[in-house]
């Protein structure tokens, strides 16, 4: 069922016990259908979000990652419980050195994979804006590895939406899209050996 069909009270409902314990407590699994494909995310919505302008953080896992492990490891919702935090799940994605594309990941360029992940982002944000009081001046995106690369793509394609972007161990995969980047507070971290 698309999240847009849910009531605001349903959005705060915690996930099943096997994913709602420890560092993932307080997250609800939600689904959308984008172009006939089921998409999901773990979502934290603080109780005040229906009445008070609330910041939003989208956090994208790396290639081969899963949303539950990523949410547990990074736990943004625990570090900033006053914010709406969305951990989307990627879809199988073929890349240059792994053409079978069995591991989950994100589109790598504008127009790639019929913009499935950009459309997913648009739907998630649109739903939050309908169901919560989103502070449009405080929408953030972060990602790790391929999720970090996707933050650059989001920045290029939807840069007017974000207050800031952060990429850990991710670089732009499509340098043509970099021409579209708008001035914005940015944090990029890469490990050197």
In the chain, the domains with their CATH numbers are 3-189 (3.40.50.1820)
Burial class of 28 by CB neighbour count within 10 A (0 to 12, 13 to 18, 19+): buried
pLDDT of residue 173: 57
pLDDT band at residue 182 under the 50/70/90 scheme: low
Determine if residue 183 is left, alpha or beta; phi over 0 gives left, psi from -120 to 50 gives alpha, anything else beta.
beta
Residue carrying structure tokens 């994100």: 106
CB distance 151 to 90 below 8 Å: no
- Maximum C-alpha span of the chain: 49
CB distance 15 to 24 below 8 Å: yes
User: Looking at the whole model, is its pTM more than 0.85?
Assistant: no
Mention every residue, 6+ apart, whose C-beta is less than 8 A from residue 175.
none
Cα 18 to Cα 21, 63, 76, 131, distances in angstroms: 7, 23, 19, 26
Handedness of CA 23, 151, 104, 16 (dihedral sign): positive
Tell me: pLDDT of 17 over 60: no
Nearest-angstrom CA–CA distance, 155 and 3: 24
Tell me: pLDDT of 61 over 50: yes
- Residue-wise pLDDT for 22-44, tens only, equals 667 789 999 999 999 999 999 99
Structure tokens at 190: 């890469």
Q: Cα 59 to the chain's mean position, in Å?
A: 4
């Amino acid at each position: 069922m698309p999240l847009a069909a849910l009531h605001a009270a349903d959005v705060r409902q915690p996930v099943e016990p096997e994913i709602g314990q420890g560092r993932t407590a307080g997250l609800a699994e939600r689904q959308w259908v984008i172009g006939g494909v089921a998409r999901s995310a773990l979502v934290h919505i603080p109780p005040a979000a229906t009445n008070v302008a609330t910041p939003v953080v989208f956090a994208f896992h790396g290639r081969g990652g899963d949303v539950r492990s990523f949410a547990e490891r990074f736990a943004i919702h625990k570090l900033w419980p006053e914010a709406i935090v969305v951990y989307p799940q990627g879809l199988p994605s073929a890349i240059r050195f792994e053409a079978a594309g069995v591991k989950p990941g994100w589109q790598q360029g504008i127009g790639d994979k019929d913009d499935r992940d950009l459309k997913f982002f648009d739907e998630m944000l649109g739903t939050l804006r309908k169901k919560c009081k989103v502070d449009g001046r405080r929408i953030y995106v972060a990602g790790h590895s391929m999720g970090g690369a996707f933050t650059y793509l989001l920045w290029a394609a939807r840069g007017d939406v974000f207050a800031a972007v952060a990429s850990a161990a991710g670089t732009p995969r499509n340098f043509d899209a970099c021409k579209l980047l708008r001035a914005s507070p940015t944090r990029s971290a890469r490990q050197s050996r």
